[in-house]
């Protein structure tokens, strides 16, 4: 085999006319995937559950094969589409009648922040780091957890945030990047400090050097009391 053979790299053994067939096959599979998305009523992956993403990936795999390989017939992918659409409708109907099946396939929403405190042990269970979670909160206009009454990680990966009114804002862990929220192992001055791991607030004195009583983390950040600027 000759290296850097442009003929082999561009077309291999298929004739130039096959490119027109590829265009037709691609249009065919595009229409099938589009119809499936119309059936499910979804506009994007962020709105999809894990089960729905799995369905789309399965259909995409079949669609990709029929689009590019000349020895893959087009009718079987239509059967794949019909089967997956019927499976989707059946599973949606079953889930509407079985909460256990819905929890198995869709998962459950997870409460990540409650009353201004981070449920840090749940982040690992949801395969989400605190940095990712804090980024999502910052995108919602939050700069410290004391502004958040409740934050729920939905089953489709979106974050639902419910805020305190300005007058009810609590002291909370600042979630801005570390250059805006220094961390200390030795407390520099008296005040309220937040554990940077679990967000629990404690009054500490200058010179204190202690582990968090809740999670045994040694690092602290000065608690913030700022209100949200929407």
- Please list the pLDDT of the chain residue by residue as tens digits (230 residues): 677 767 666 666 777 777 787 778 777 877 877 777 677 665 455 566 667 777 777 777 777 777 767 666 777 777 777 888 888 888 888 888 888 887 777 778 889 999 999 987 777 666 677 888 899 899 988 999 999 999 998 877 788 999 999 999 999 999 998 888 899 999 999 999 999 989 999 999 999 999 999 889 999 999 999 988 76
Q: Is 113 exposed, middle or buried (0-12, 13-18, 19+ CB in 10 A)?
A: buried
Domain identity same for 82 and 120: no
The residues, any chain, with a CB within 8 Å of residue 159's CB and separated by 6 or more, are 112, 133, 136, 137, 140, 151, 152, 153
Q: What's the domain range around 45?
A: 14-104
pTM above 0.85, yes or no: no
CA dihedral 139, 140, 144, 146 (to 10 degrees): -160
Residue that finishes a domain, picked among 70, 104, 138 = 104
Q: Report the pLDDT value the prediction gives residue 40, as an integer from 0 to 100.
A: 64
Q: Report the pLDDT value the prediction gives residue 183, as an integer from 0 to 100.
A: 94
When divided into structural domains, the chain yields a total of 2
Residue that finishes a domain, picked among 72, 104, 136 = 104
Q: Report the pLDDT value the prediction gives residue 168, as an integer from 0 to 100.
A: 93
Residues in the chain: 230
Number of Cβ atoms within 10 Å of the Cβ of 114:
13
Q: Report the pLDDT value the prediction gives residue 3, as an integer from 0 to 100.
A: 75
Q: Report the pLDDT value the prediction gives residue 230, as an integer from 0 to 100.
A: 60
Q: Report if residue 96 sits inside a domain.
A: yes
How far is Cα 155 from Cα 175, in angstroms, rounded to an integer? Answer: 23
Q: Report if residue 133 sits inside a domain.
A: yes
């Amino acid at each position: 085999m000759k290296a850097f053979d442009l003929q082999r790299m561009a077309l291999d053994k298929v004739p130039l006319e096959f490119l027109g067939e590829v265009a037709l096959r691609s249009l065919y599979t595009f229409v099938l995937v589009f119809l499936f998305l119309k059936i499910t009523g979804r506009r994007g992956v962020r709105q999809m559950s894990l089960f729905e993403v799995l369905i789309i990936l399965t259909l995409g795999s079949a669609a990709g094969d029929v689009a590019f390989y000349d020895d893959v017939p087009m009718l079987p992918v239509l059967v794949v589409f019909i089967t997956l659409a019927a499976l989707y409708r059946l599973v949606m109907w079953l889930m509407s009648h079985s909460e256990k099946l819905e929890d198995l396939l869709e998962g459950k929403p997870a409460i990540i922040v409650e009353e201004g405190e981070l449920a840090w042990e749940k982040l690992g269970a949801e395969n989400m780091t605190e940095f990712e979670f804090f980024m999502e909160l910052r995108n919602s206009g939050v700069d410290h957890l004391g502004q958040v009454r409740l934050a729920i990680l939905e089953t489709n990966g979106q974050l639902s945030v419910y805020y305190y009114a300005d007058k009810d804002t609590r002291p909370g862990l600042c979630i801005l990047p570390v250059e805006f929220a220094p961390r200390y192992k030795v407390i520099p001055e008296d005040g309220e400090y937040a554990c940077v791991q679990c967000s629990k607030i404690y009054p500490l004195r200058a010179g204190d050097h202690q582990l968090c009583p809740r999670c045994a983390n040694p690092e602290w950040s000065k608690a913030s009391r700022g209100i949200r600027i929407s």
